[in-house]
Amino acid sequence: MKTTQYTLYAICIIFLTSILLIPSMYSQSSGYWRIFFRDKGNEVLAPGSNLWYKTLEIHTQRSLDRRKKNNPKGPLITQADAPVQLTYVKEIAKYVDSVLLTLRWNNYVVVKTDSSRLTAIRNLSFVKAIQRTGLKLFPALLHQPRSTAFVVKKELTENVLIRRDNCGVFRYGPSLNQAALLQIPLVHQMGIIGQSALLSFLDSGFRWKTHEATKNADVLAEFDAIQKDSITANQMGDVPSQDYHGSICYSTVCGFQQDSLIGIAPFSSFLLAKTEDIPTEQHLEEDNYAAAVEWSEALGADVVSSSLGYSVFNQPFEENYAFADFNGNTTITSRIVNNAVRRGMICVTAAGNDGPRDSTIITPSDADSVIAVAAIAPDGIAPANFTSRGPRADGMIKPDIAAQGVSVICINPGDTTSITNANGTSLATPLIAGAMGLFVSAFPEKTGHEIRQAVYSTAVNAQSKNTSLGYGLAQIHNAMLYSGILLSPMITYPVGQYQRIVFLAQSAYPIVSLNIHIRKKGDAEYRMISAFKYDTLHAWAIDMWRDTMQLGQYECYVTANDAKRSRIYPPRLPNRDSTFVFSVNDTIIPCGIPEQLLPKHEYPMSTDETITQAGLHIQKSGEYRFKLYSIKGSYIHEGMLDLASGVYTETMLKQLIGNNSLVALLLYDGQQLIHSTILSPNQY
């Protein structure tokens, strides 16, 4: 299926068969074999056991936290997650040329060996079955214990090479259309650019370190399943085109080159896995795929994107798939994807490029739990002629969602600065995967299922899913508003004598309040300040008088309420930051937010006392000087107030407001500013 560089790559898969293959039928030919084990040794997986700790060691805390969030009532780890028994692997290594892959979830290894050695291997007591990788598996042993991929024993730490704030508004250049069709600029303008999301890409290779648009991407780890190292770019033994396809697909998400290419989630973190061997079409690539999914899941990936698909093979002993196999849970890739989704991952894959005929979907786009992506024309309406159509073999409608797949802007991997364009569901897929990364960034408390359902429910064709485009063009901004109150990261900057703190807030329903809770880092108590709604970019703001602020860092979080919902942000999640941190005189404006639209007038915007129907209380009674400003920062008037009871009466407040819809009130005791608030007739 690699007829062009944009066409989906095919692999075929097989799982466990209870039939042991007869070695002699292969005439002692050297090849690749799957060796399935009966168990994972004599150890019992129970909390506190040796096997329990070995299994936990394979997984990062991020992976465990994602699992717990998505399945809070289920077991954190299972027998399937446990490592393959090492003594079995060592014993097998004595009989084979090499052990290529070790897979936990289905408890097998892939080896290279001469078939003459298989009889001895078959007689080992712990071996359950042997199968050539070129054959399809029967579905009989779908629920067997499963096995080990590539173990990482240390936590990944962020290696951010580009600033995630103060870099200004995004200038998309020719990449605007593919982002705008998905409403991505509306999300970027909220400062949501992929922070804290971890995306994994499975493809043919990634030449990302040499191009200006991709070289600063936050790549945490790489895995080459073909040459068994951590180099995903071309190296000795690779054909020249090996890393081309993966590079162009990945660049649509991670790319950041102003006026040329702005990726969908450029400030996410990434895992890169090279699983596809360009010169061949063989089932071994499916085992590579499965190993890479396990590797990604164990490292805590939120989203996996694969612009790959498997149907027809071109190597000796390779058995093609029949369309009947594409029923959602038969092939190795569909099963591995379903297993990953059960562990909380969001899996996105290409529908295929075999349209316009019906029932041209391939695997793993047939998987029950995968998001199968169709290609739509740049007009956002017409299906691309080539995009594969459903339904899948059992009649279920596929694909699931659509994005631009014609003339998609991407890097030219052969150059350091130039861009190009490409066609295919391969290019539509990462656009959706990047959008899922933005969703995880904006709503880290949501489960993968909740995110998928929000995207499906708000897509252009949500009410009438069809076999060409599924639910149709995704509308990501609408999906986020459907999910809850959408909040930006914290924005802060000095304005006059104040330190301004701003949050952008949007919702499907009117937002009725936004409170900012703030304290000096290390203090026990937070102070709650009601924010003022500014009229630009959904901004809510307060001002902290800098003369009263001490040196050091401050922490804050937000509570927001709309007409139907409430939200705490950052959400309270295990092992995640639950506050934003800043210091006096900091300027922190997340990338993507148009700085010129933020409130810059020199008037206070904090209501730091409690407004009640009786009035607004201050600390003591007496005569005070006041100044009044319009909401645009224009001076209105000033005068004296005699607060004998220490209370603004409702009548007094209404007189101060007059015909103004909103005013800023500053109250002075002599020359000392003692109080500031925003007054609105709606409060009285």
**What total of structural domains would you count in the chain?**
4
pLDDT band at 56 (very low <50, low <70, confident <90, very high): very high
Q: What is the DSSP letter of 130?
A: E
Torsion 96-100-104-107 (CA) sign: negative
Task: Evaluate whether residue 42 is within a structural domain.
Answer: yes
Q: How many residues are present in the chain?
A: 684
pLDDT band at 536 (very low <50, low <70, confident <90, very high): low
The tens digit of pLDDT for each residue in 572-589 reads: 999 999 999 999 999 999
Final residue before a domain boundary, out of 428, 462, 478:
478
Q: What is the DSSP letter of 540?
A: E
Q: Which of 43-47, 165-169, 204-208 has the weakest average pLDDT?
A: 165-169
For helices 332-342 and 284-298, angle between their N-to-C axes, nearest 10 degrees: 10
Beta strands 401-404 and 371-376 are parallel
Task: Evaluate whether residue 241 is within a structural domain.
Answer: yes
For residues 36-51, average pLDDT = 92
Q: What is the pLDDT of residue 448?
A: 97
The tens digit of pLDDT for each residue in 282-316 reads: 888 999 999 999 999 999 999 999 999 999 888 77
pLDDT band at 545 (very low <50, low <70, confident <90, very high): confident
Task: Evaluate whether residue 174 is within a structural domain.
Answer: no
The tens digit of pLDDT for each residue in 404-450 reads: 999 999 999 999 999 999 999 999 999 999 999 999 999 999 999 99
Task: Evaluate whether residue 367 is within a structural domain.
Answer: yes
Q: How many Å apart are CA 186 and CA 201, to the nearest integer?
A: 25
Buried b (16+ CB within 10 A) or exposed e, 531-569: bbbbeebbbbbbbbbeeebeeeebbbbbebbbeeeebeb
Final residue before a domain boundary, out of 109, 141, 173:
141
- Same domain, residue pair 234 and 356: yes
pLDDT band at 530 (very low <50, low <70, confident <90, very high): confident
Task: Evaluate whether residue 399 is within a structural domain.
Answer: yes
Q: What is the pLDDT of residue 659?
A: 63
- Same domain, residue pair 437 and 579: no
Task: Evaluate whether residue 166 is within a structural domain.
Answer: no
The tens digit of pLDDT for each residue in 81-92 reads: 999 999 999 999
Q: What is the pLDDT of residue 148?
A: 27
The tens digit of pLDDT for each residue in 309-364 reads: 999 888 778 889 999 999 999 999 999 999 999 999 999 999 999 999 999 999 99
Q: Which residue has the higher pLDDT, 131 or 616?
A: 131
Phi first, then psi: give them for residue 440, nearest 5 degrees: -60, -40
- Same domain, residue pair 217 and 99: no
- Same domain, residue pair 339 and 304: yes
pLDDT band at 135 (very low <50, low <70, confident <90, very high): confident
Task: Evaluate whether residue 175 is within a structural domain.
Answer: no
- Same domain, residue pair 293 and 401: yes
Q: Which of 33-37, 198-202, 486-490, 621-625 has the weakest average pLDDT?
A: 621-625
Domain containing 572 — which CATH number?
2.60.40.10
Q: In the predicted model, is pLDDT for residue 55 greater than 70?
A: yes
Task: Evaluate whether residue 152 is within a structural domain.
Answer: no
E strands present in 106-151: 108-114, 127-132
- By residue range, what is the domain housing residue 64? 23-141
- Same domain, residue pair 309 and 398: yes
Q: In the predicted model, is pLDDT for residue 1 greater than 50?
A: no
Final residue before a domain boundary, out of 546, 567, 600:
600
Q: In the predicted model, is pLDDT for residue 542 greater than 80?
A: yes
The tens digit of pLDDT for each residue in 69-79 reads: 999 998 999 99
Domain containing 239 — which CATH number?
3.40.50.200
> Can you give the pTM of this predicted structure?
0.85
Q: What is the pLDDT of residue 673?
A: 62
For residues 245-267, average pLDDT = 97
For residues 38-49, average pLDDT = 91
For residues 531-543, average pLDDT = 81
Sheet with strand 269-274: strands edge to edge? 218-224, 269-274, 198-203, 303-306, 346-350, 371-376, 401-404
Structure token digits, residue 12: 């075929």
- Same domain, residue pair 390 and 528: no
Q: Which residue has the higher pLDDT, 50 or 22?
A: 50
Check if the beta carbon of residue 484 is closer than 8 Å to that of residue 192: no
pLDDT band at 518 (very low <50, low <70, confident <90, very high): very high
DSSP 476-535: HHHHHHHHS-EEPPPEEEEETTEEEEEEEEE-SS-EEEEEEEEEETT-S--EEEEEEEPS
Q: What is the pLDDT of residue 313?
A: 87
Nearest alpha carbon to residue 226 among 40, 385, 11? 11
For residues 557-582, average pLDDT = 95
The tens digit of pLDDT for each residue in 618-643 reads: 556 677 777 777 655 567 778 787 76
For residues 106-129, average pLDDT = 95
Q: In the predicted model, is pLDDT for residue 400 greater than 70?
A: yes
- Same domain, residue pair 448 and 318: yes
Q: In the predicted model, is pLDDT for residue 378 greater than 60?
A: yes
Sheet with strand 635-643: strands edge to edge? 635-643, 622-630, 663-669, 672-679
Q: In the predicted model, is pLDDT for residue 3 greater than 70?
A: no
- Same domain, residue pair 406 and 273: yes
The tens digit of pLDDT for each residue in 196-246 reads: 999 999 999 999 999 999 999 999 999 999 999 999 999 998 999 999 999
Q: Return mean pLDDT, the chain.
A: 85
Nearest alpha carbon to residue 40 among 82, 77, 96? 82
For residues 480-490, average pLDDT = 97
Q: Which of 36-50, 140-154, 525-539, 565-579 has the weakest average pLDDT?
A: 140-154
- Same domain, residue pair 328 and 469: yes
- Same domain, residue pair 322 and 389: yes
Q: How many Å apart are CA 210 and CA 489, to the nearest integer?
A: 31
Q: In the predicted model, is pLDDT for residue 178 greater than 90?
A: yes
- Same domain, residue pair 225 and 78: no
